[in-house]
Structure 1
Amino acid sequence: MNYTRNLRYCRRQFINVYNNSFSTSVIKSQSVQQVAQPKRICIVGAGPAGFYAAQYLLKQLSDCSVDIVEKLPVPFGLVRFGVAPDHPEVKNVINTFTKTAENPRLRFFGNVTLGTYVTLQELRERYHAVLLTYGADQDRELELHNEQQAHVISARKFVAWYNGLPGAEQLQPDLSGRDVTIVGQGNVAVDVARMLLSPIDNLKVTDTTEYALEALANSKVERVHLVGRRGPLQAAFTIKELREMLKLPQVETRWRAEDFTGVDAQLDKLQRPRKRLTELMLKSLGEQSSRQSGDVSKQFLPIFLRAPKAIVEREMEFAITELQENSAVATSATEKLPADLILRSIGYKSSCADAGINFDARRGQVCNEQGRVLQDKETKQTAPGLYVAGWLGTGPTGVILTTMNGAFAVAKTICNDIAANAFDTTSLKPGFDPSNKPIVTWEGWQRIDKHETEAGKAKGKPREKIVSIPEMLRIAGV
C-alpha cells in the first residue's frame, strides 16, 4: 500500500514538474514572439492577385505581417468591379479573401493612392518587401480616326458602369440605337453582349447598379455584333460564356456559314477544350435554319475574319481578313456594319502609378523577371525586395484561377528570397502609419458592406453598391 501511495505521489510530482516546465517554455516562447521583429510586407492593390499573395505569405511565413493598401475605399478589385453581375458564383471567392483579411497579422488600408498619397520609395523604406498588384486600369485602343467620338467607348468602361466603379456612373452610354458593334471576342466582350441582350427581369435580381438597370430597361438595342480578326478556331471566349448566350430567352444567335468553311475538318486536331467549343458553335450553326423565331426580339451576331479599318457615322468599316499561319492578314475587300454604339474590347493595360516604378509603357506593365521587378532592363538586375504580380506584371491574361496561380508563384519567390537572405529582413521597419489620415480599415469596409447588403435586400438584390467615394468614407466612419 505504501509502495502504491509513493508511486502515485511520485507520478503526481512528475506531472506537476512537467506541466510547470511546459507552461514556462510557452510563456518564454510567447515572450520571444512578442519582441521579435516581424518581416513586414506591403501589398499594393486589394484585388485577387493581392489577396492570393497575402494568403500564401501568411501561411508560409509565421513571422510576417502583411499590410494591403488600396486606392479605393473598398477591396476586391475586379471581383467586385469586373465580374458580370449575373455570375455571382464567381464572386464567391470573396469569402476566401475575407478569411485572409481577418487574419490578425493582416491590415487593410483603403483610400490610399500610390504615387500621390504615398510614394513607392516611402513604402520601401517602411517595409522589408513591397509587392505591386494594382492591376490594369487602362484600355488598348484601335488607333482609328474618330475613335474619340461619344458613341465609341471601351468595354472596360461599360463594365465599370454597370458594376458601380466610382466615377463610372458618369459614362451614360447611348442605348437609343438598334445596333451595337463590339470589337473583340473575349469573355469580357461576351459579358457585355449578354448584359445588353438579357431580359431586364434577369438583371434586376443581380447587383447591377440601379442607374444601369434603368438605362438597360429603356434600351432600344436589338442587335449586337461581336467582331473578331481571326476565325472560329481562334475565338477567345469560353464554352461557358457561349452556352449562356445560346440560352438567352428571346435572343437568336446567327452565325455566318462562310466563316466556318473547313472548320469541321480540323476538329480531330484540336485539344479538348477548343474541340468542345468548336463543336458547340458548329451545332448551333447547324440548328439555326430550323429554329422557330416567332418569339425572338433580339439577335446576337458573331462575325469572324474582320479587322477594324474605319469609324464612320453610325457605321464601322472592317477589312476582310485571311488566316496565314494563325495570323489575320487584311485583304483589299471590306465590309461595313451598322454601329449606333461601338464598344472596344481588345484588351486592358496597366498605368504607371509612381515615378519610381520601372515601367514598360509600350506593353503597359512593370518590367520584371518572374515577379522580381527589374532595377535595370539592360543588365536584368532586380530591385531587392520589390515584386509584382497579377496583370500589372503579366499583362491582362487569363481568368481568376490564372491570377491565383501567378500570385502564389510570386509569393513563393518572396519566401525563397527571404530564406536566401536576398534582402535584409533584420532591420526594424515601422510599416504604414494610418494616424490622422482618411484611411478605411477593414472594420470600415465591413460597415460599407453591411450598408450595401441591407440596401440591396430591400430591392431583392444581393447588394446595392455605393458609387460615391465621399459617401463610402462617411459610412466607413472616416
Structure 2
Amino acid sequence: MLRVAVIGSGPSGVYTAQSLIEQQTVPDIEVYVLDRLPCPYGLVRYGVAPDHEKIKSLQNNLRAVLEHPRVHFLGNVEVGPGLGVPELREIFDAVVFCVGAATDRHLGIPGEDLPGSHAATEFVAWYSAHPDAATTRFALAARSAIVIGVGNVAVDVARMLSRGAAELALTDMPQLPLGTLAESRVEDVWMVGRRGPSQAKFTTKELRELGSLPGTEVHVRPAELALDPAYRDPAGLPAVGRRNVEVLRGWAERPTGATTPVARRRRIHLRFFLRPVEMLGDAAGGVRAVRFERTAPDGRGGVVGTGEFEEIEGQLVLRSVGYRGTPQPGLPFDETTGTVPHQAGRVLREGAPLPGVYVAGWIKRGPTGVIGTNRPCAKETAQSLLADAGALAGRTAAEDPVTALTRAGQRPVTWPGWLAIEAAEAAFGHGLGRGTVKLPDWAGLLEAARSAGATR
C-alpha cells in the first residue's frame, strides 16, 4: 500500500487526491487530506464571495473526491513544529504540500499601515467567516473607500461594499458582517489600477457584475481609457481582454445620468494609470486619502511615472495587489518567487529531489491562474509521485494515521466531524430565518465537530 498525505484541502489538494486515486498503475493507494482548518475546500469556502453561488457549488465536486473510500479528510491538523516533514514521513510514504499563497504583497509606500488601511484578504476573510478573522472588525462609517488593484479579488471587494444587505442575507455570510454591511455609509468606491484597462486582471463576468448591482452606478473616464493603445485597438488582445474593453467602452460611452436619480445610491469609480505613492493620515491618525502618481504606457508593456499627482479621498483602503507564498516547515524556499523549488512537482533541495516530498498549486507555481488551472498542475505532481511509487511504498509503520497524528499532539476532525459542522450551520441559519449560515469562529466549529464524536 502507498499511503500519501496531501497538505491542504482546497482545489489543488483535492485535485491531487483525485489524480492519485483515479490512476490505474498503483491500485493500493490511500490518500489522507490534511488541513489546518476543521473545514475542507480552502479558498472555495473562504475566498469565493458569498454571492457567487455558482462558483461555490464547486464544493460539490470537491466533496465527491473527499467522500471516496480511499480518501480521508483530517481537519484541525497543524503542520509545523512537532509535525514537520520528518514526522509526516514517519506516518506517510509521501507528502504533497498544496498550501497556496498565504500572505498579501505589500505596496511598500509611506502610510500603508495607517488605521483604516487593510489587505483586501482581511476583508474577504471577515465576510467569509474564516475562523482566524473571528475577532476582526470593520467600521464602515467611511463615505469613500479605495480598493487598490484591478483583479478579481478587487472586484469582489468593491461589489461587497456596494451590494445591498437584502441580497447578501440570502447567502451564507455570518450575521456580524451582514449587519455591518447593512449599516455601511460607503457611497463611493474607487477601484484603482497602475496600468491600463487592457492589462487589468479581472474576468469579464466579474467586471459586468459591477454594472448590474441595484442602486449602483459605474463611472469610468474616457480620457484614462484612451491612454491605453490596446484599448483603442483591442484586436491583438486575448479574448478576455477584448471583452473587458468592450464592457468598459460601453460604460464610457453611456450618457451622463443614464441611471435614474432614484436608483443612484452608490457609485463605483474605475480608475486607471494611477500608481499609489503615499497614504495620507487625518488628525486622528487614520487614513484620509491616497496620493497617486499618474502613469503612462512605456511601450514595453509597463508604465512610467509622469510626475503628475492626484489625491483620492478615502477613509477605508483595501489593498489587493497579489498574494505571496510563505516558507513551509522543512522545505526549501525561493524568496524571490515565493515558491518551493521543484521539478515537475518533486521538491528540490540544492538541486536534488527530496525523497517523498512534493508540491502542487500556488506554492508550486506561484499565485497564477484560476481554480481550473490547478487540475493540470495537480496531475503533473501526481504523475511524478506515482513514478516514484516503487521506492516509496510500504516504508511506513502499520499504525493508523489518525492514531499517529493524535499521538503527535493533534486533534483531527474527521469527515463525520465536518458533516456535523454542516448540520450545525444549517440549524444556525434556520434559527435566524435564513439559509445555511457559517459558524464564524474556531470554538463554534470545533464544538460542532465534537458533538458528533468526530475528533480525537
Paired position in structure 2 for 1:396: 367
Paired position in structure 2 for 1:311: 279
Paired position in structure 1 for 2:316: 341
In structure 2, distance between residues paired with 1:171 and 1:156: 12
Give the TM-score of the pair, scaled to structure 2. 0.91
In structure 1, distance between residues paired with 2:396 and 2:189: 58
2:152 is the alignment partner of 1:187: yes
Paired position in structure 1 for 2:16: 53
Secondary structure of 2:43 counterpart: helix
Paired position in structure 2 for 1:44: 7
Paired position in structure 2 for 1:7: none
For residues 17-53 of structure 1, the C-alpha deviation after alignment (integer angstroms, 9 at most, x for no partner) is: xxxxxxxxxxxxxxxxxxxxx1111111111111111
In structure 2, distance between residues paired with 1:72 and 1:45: 9
Does the 8 Å CA contact 1:40/1:429 hold for their aligned counterparts? no
User: Which runs of structure 2 are paired with 1:256-405 in the superposition (5 Å)?
Assistant: 256-261=221-226, 262-289=229-256, 291-294=258-261, 295-313=263-281, 314-324=288-298, 325-354=300-329, 356-376=330-350, 380-405=351-376
User: Which runs of structure 2 are paired with 1:17-36 in the superposition (5 Å)?
Assistant: none
Paired position in structure 2 for 1:80: 45
Aligned-partner residue type, residue 268 of structure 2: F
Cα deviation for residue 361 of structure 1 reads 2.9
The change in CA–CA distance for 1:121 and 1:245 in structure 2 (over 3 A counts) is same
Aligned-partner residue type, residue 123 of structure 1: L
Paired position in structure 2 for 1:413: 384
Secondary structure of 1:89 counterpart: helix
Paired position in structure 1 for 2:124: 159
For residues 338-383 of structure 1, the C-alpha deviation after alignment (integer angstroms, 9 at most, x for no partner) is: 11111000011122241x111123432222223211111xxx2221
In structure 2, distance between residues paired with 1:405 and 1:453: 34
Secondary structure of 1:156 counterpart: helix
For residues 251-293 of structure 1, the C-alpha deviation after alignment (integer angstroms, 9 at most, x for no partner) is: 1100011112155531222232221221111112111435134
My pick for the range that moved more, 156-165 or 114-123, is: 114-123
Secondary structure of 1:331 counterpart: strand
The change in CA–CA distance for 1:45 and 1:246 in structure 2 (over 3 A counts) is same
Secondary structure of 2:270 counterpart: strand
The change in CA–CA distance for 1:284 and 1:468 in structure 2 (over 3 A counts) is same
User: Which runs of structure 2 are paired with 1:137-216 in the superposition (5 Å)?
Assistant: 137-216=102-181
RMSD (Å), alpha carbons: 1.6
For residues 173-199 of structure 1, the C-alpha deviation after alignment (integer angstroms, 9 at most, x for no partner) is: 231111111110000000000000001
Give the TM-score of the pair, scaled to structure 1. 0.87
Aligned-partner residue type, residue 259 of structure 2: Q
2:446 is the alignment partner of 1:473: yes
In structure 2, distance between residues paired with 1:473 and 1:233: 46
Aligned-partner residue type, residue 45 of structure 1: G
Paired position in structure 2 for 1:446: 419
Does the 8 Å CA contact 2:197/2:231 hold for their aligned counterparts? no
Paired position in structure 1 for 2:189: 224
My pick for the range that moved more, 118-127 or 404-413, is: 404-413
Paired position in structure 1 for 2:284: none
Cα deviation for residue 413 of structure 1 reads 2.3
In structure 2, distance between residues paired with 1:405 and 1:223: 41
Cα deviation for residue 328 of structure 1 reads 1.6
In structure 1, distance between residues paired with 2:382 and 2:197: 37
In structure 1, distance between residues paired with 2:82 and 2:427: 32
Which structure has more helix as a fraction of its residues? 1
Secondary structure of 1:268 counterpart: helix
Cα deviation for residue 116 of structure 1 reads 3.1
The change in CA–CA distance for 1:164 and 1:283 in structure 2 (over 3 A counts) is same
Aligned-partner residue type, residue 369 of structure 1: Q
In structure 1, distance between residues paired with 2:246 and 2:316: 31
Does the 8 Å CA contact 1:112/1:118 hold for their aligned counterparts? no
Cα deviation for residue 471 of structure 1 reads 2.4
Cα deviation for residue 135 of structure 1 reads 1.6
2:34 is the alignment partner of 1:69: yes
The change in CA–CA distance for 1:425 and 1:256 in structure 2 (over 3 A counts) is same
Paired position in structure 1 for 2:432: 459
User: Which runs of structure 2 are paired with 1:95-114 in the superposition (5 Å)?
Assistant: 95-114=60-79
Paired position in structure 1 for 2:87: 122
For residues 129-184 of structure 1, the C-alpha deviation after alignment (integer angstroms, 9 at most, x for no partner) is: 11001222211111112211221100011000000001313221231111111110
Cα deviation for residue 460 of structure 1 reads 4.8
The change in CA–CA distance for 1:411 and 1:46 in structure 2 (over 3 A counts) is same
Aligned-partner residue type, residue 126 of structure 2: W
Does the 8 Å CA contact 2:217/2:259 hold for their aligned counterparts? no
For residues 378-420 of structure 1, the C-alpha deviation after alignment (integer angstroms, 9 at most, x for no partner) is: xx222122111111111111211112232222222222333xx
Unpaired segments ≥5 residues, structure 1 = 1-37
In structure 2, distance between residues paired with 1:96 and 1:234: 32
* Max Rg structure: 1
Does the 8 Å CA contact 1:252/1:293 hold for their aligned counterparts? no
Cα deviation for residue 331 of structure 1 reads 1.9
Cα deviation for residue 117 of structure 1 reads 5.0
Unpaired segments ≥5 residues, structure 2 = 282-287
In structure 2, distance between residues paired with 1:153 and 1:117: 32
In structure 1, distance between residues paired with 2:394 and 2:2: 8
Q: How many residues align?
A: 434
Aligned-partner residue type, residue 283 of structure 1: G
In structure 2, distance between residues paired with 1:362 and 1:171: 30
Does the 8 Å CA contact 1:371/1:387 hold for their aligned counterparts? yes
Does the 8 Å CA contact 1:128/1:429 hold for their aligned counterparts? no
Does the 8 Å CA contact 2:50/2:128 hold for their aligned counterparts? yes
User: Which runs of structure 2 are paired with 1:229-240 in the superposition (5 Å)?
Assistant: 229-240=194-205
Secondary structure of 1:373 counterpart: strand
In structure 2, distance between residues paired with 1:265 and 1:177: 36
In structure 2, distance between residues paired with 1:74 and 1:476: 10
